[in-house]
Every structure is written in C-alpha cells, then in structure tokens.
Amino acid sequence: MRSASGDLARRLREPLCPVILLYGEEPLLIEESADRVRAAALTQGYQERLRLTVEPGFDWQQLRATGQSLSLFAERRLLELRMPSGKPGDAGGKALAAYAADPPEDTVLLVITGRLDARARQGRWFTALEAGGLSVDHRSVRPEQLPGWIRARLQARGLRAEPEAVALLAHQTEGNLLAASQEVDKIALTASGQTVRTADVLASTADHARFNIYALADTCLAGNTAKALRMLGGLRREGVEPVLLVWALAREVRTLALIAWGLSRGQSRSQLFKAHRVWNTRQALVSAALGRRPPAAWLAVMQRMARLDRVLKGRQSGNIWLELEQSCLAICAPGTPSMKA
C-alpha cells in the first residue's frame, strides 16, 4: 500500500507491515522516516536489528537466508536492506518479489533506497513490495512549500517565528533541505525567546542555498531575473562546471526556438509540446517563456547561445561566467535581444 510521508507516523502506531519500502527524492526525509520505523519497531518488540547493503556483487540469497535464520537474541527482528542505486537487477528483483510473496514471521523488512523512476516503480519487485506491505514516497519540498515546512519544524520544537524570519531562513537554505533542518535545530538551541526573530536567523545562518542546473533553467523560463542570477552565483561558488550550465540553457533555448517556429507556422501547441517532450509539469513555464517575445526573437537568443558555446570552447574570447549571466538575462527578459553574436 502506498502512503504519503506525512501519513507515516499514523501508520506506525498500528502493527507494522511485514515489508516497508522508503524511497524518493529527498534523502533527509527518507532517513527521518527510517528512524521512525526503527523506533516503532523497538516499541513493538522488534529487539534485534540486522542490516544488509546492496553493493556490486551482492549475493541476493542473503536476503532469504537472513530472513529465515533463527534469532539468538530476540523473537522479533527488523531487517534493513539498503539499496542506494534503486536497481536490484534481475536476480534482486526476483529475490525481493519472492520475499514479499512469503515474508518470514516476526521479521519486518525495511527497504531503503533513493529516487525511483517510472520504470522502476512499474517493476515486479516494486509492485510486489508495495502489495505486500507499505511504500512511502518522499518527494522534494518545493520552494513555495519550504516556508511552511520550516514553520512546522520550528513549531515542533515549541517555537513561533516572525513571517520575515521564516522567509529569510527559506531564502538562505533554498535547495538544501538538510541545511534548513540543521539551521532550525541550531536556532532552537540559540533563540533568545519563544519567538524566532529575523535577528536570530541572521545570527545563525549562512547562505546555504544550493541549486541545480535544472532549477536554474526553470527559473530563467519563468522570467525571474533576480533569482536566476542569484542561483547562477550559487552554482559558481559550488564549483559547478560551466559546460553543464551551457548544456542546460542551450537545450531549453533550442526547444523554445523550435516550438516558437512551429507555432508561427500554425502548428498545435499541444502537439509541439508532445513532439519536444515538454511534460505537463513544465508546460506552464515553457508557455510563459514563449509569451514574453515574438517567435522570431528566439533566433536571437539561439545566436547568443552559439556565442556562449564558442566562448566555452575557447573559439571566441570572453569571460564564460559573464556570458552565462547575459544568457540568463536574455532568456528571462521580454522583447527582442540583440542579434549580435
């Protein structure tokens, strides 16, 4: 049975399922859920804890053998199986499906993995684990959700917070949920009172905002110039290679130019989105970018991206980071940019 991460606490007050699968995009939330499962297991008499980690060459026969072996220390056991890659392979898939179909008594299998793509979630092993027990998907906390997440985190520690303090903390830690959690813990220890104020956040936090290249591309599509430049600066400080940024931005501009050209020829927007693999979750962003300038103007942005590529490869003089800034501005801004390349 699939469950949301926020519902896990309630489910753990019931007798534990024989199989529990934790997966998703956010490692912090997965690890916190694993801690809750361990605590619940201990409360319900699962005194022994065994651990297996799937690494190259892992013998999947260990899973069944460990589950069937008699315990020398406790009647009930928690068996943890960590699968970092999320890809058990053919042998692993069969072993997991067989285990879920006939789980041993007095043993809870806790499977911990990371992000699973659609293909993995349709695999036999995943559906078998989900049918035989409980699966919990831990999705990333989106930027617009982060202030509420921080506020709830502070409230759990008996603290209130000024709206400005929450907004500042979200700004400082956006893209790095672990940093947000650590800062909340630090503020809980150092706050001067029951209400967290902006001064408390300023005294405690540094700029932990961490972004990825895809988030930068989406922010440019949304036309948020200030945020895009701040994200670019953060990526530069983190040592992200410019080639990755050039690739991500050029890919978006090429897609926009092709869709804009198709629209100018009277083609259907929905068909163009389908042809260029613009998924439902990103169609609003792409539409917003297309609406900021006439179709022909995207050719000028394409020329700027060509210049960016030449600078990256040393075929044209220029500072790659300044060129990246100009490219972000060109994608964000309305109107027709200079055609000069």
Which residue, 302, 213, 308, 306, is CA-closest to 254?
302
Q: Are both 314 and 288 inside the same structural domain? A: yes
pLDDT of residue 73: 60
| Average model confidence (pLDDT) across the chain | 88
- Residues 230 and 249 grouped into a single domain: yes
Residue whose C-alpha is closest to residue 242's, from 163, 168, 314: 314
Domain that holds residue 157: 146-204
**Spatial distance between the Cα atoms of 262 and 287, rounded to a whole number of angstroms:** 13
Q: Which phi and psi (to 5°) does residue 147 adopt?
A: -55, -45
Question: Which H helix or E strand runs over 274?
Answer: helix 269-275
Chain segment 158-204, per-residue pLDDT in tens = 999 999 889 888 888 888 899 899 999 998 888 767 889 888 888 87
316 and 240 in a common domain: yes
175 and 106 in one domain? no
CA gap 225, 330 in Å, rounded? 9
What single DSSP character describes residue 19?
A: E
Domain boundary among 118, 138, 158: 138
More confident position, 293 or 81: 81
At residue 3, the pLDDT reads: 67
- Is residue 247 within 8 A of residue 180, CB to CB? The reply is no
Name the domain boundary from 138, 162, 189.
138
* Sequence-distant (≥ 6) Cβ neighbours of residue 205 within 8 angstroms: 168, 169, 172, 173, 183
* pLDDT in the model for residue 137: 92
**Predicted confidence band at 1 (pLDDT cuts at 50, 70, 90)?**
low
What letter would DSSP give residue 157? T
User: 153 and 41, same structural domain?
Assistant: no
Local confidence band at 326 (pLDDT 50, 70, 90 cut-offs): very high
Q: What is the CATH number of the domain that holds 324?
A: 1.20.272.10
Is it the case that residue 206 has pLDDT exceeding 70? no
pLDDT digits (tens, 9 = 90+) for 44-90: 999 889 999 999 889 999 998 887 776 656 578 999 999 988 899 99
Instruction: Indicate which CATH number applies to the domain containing 124.
Output: 3.40.50.300
In sequence order, the β-bridge partners of residue 20 are 110, 134
DSSP-derived secondary structure letter, 7: G
Mean pLDDT along residues 115-129 = 91
The Cα–Cα gap between 234 and 312 comes to: 19
Least confident of 116-120, 155-159, 204-208, 283-287: 204-208
Question: Could you tell me if 111 and 46 lie in one domain?
Answer: yes
Domain total of the chain: 3
Amino acid 201: pLDDT: 85
pTM, 2 dp: 0.76
d(CA 319, CA 312): 9
Question: The tokens of 77 are what?
Answer: 């056991």
Confidence of residue 4 (pLDDT cuts 50, 70, 90): low
What backbone torsions phi and psi does residue 291 show, to the nearest 5 degrees?
A: -75, -10
d(CA 112, CA 9): 17
* Concatenated DSSP letters of 300-338: HHHHHHHHHHHHHTTSS-S-HHHHHHHHHHHHHS-S---
User: Region 315-321: what's the mean pLDDT?
Assistant: 92
The CA-atom distances, in angstroms, between 43 and each of 11, 15, 77 are 14, 10, 12
pLDDT at 307 over 60: yes
The single-letter DSSP state of residue 241 is -
Nearest-CA neighbor of 207 among 186, 241, 230? 230
- Which of 41-50, 136-145, 272-281, 300-309 shows the lowest mean pLDDT across its residues? 272-281
246 contacts 255 by C-beta, under 8 angstroms: no
pLDDT at 213 > cutoff 80: yes
Partnered with residue 108 across adjacent β-strands are 78
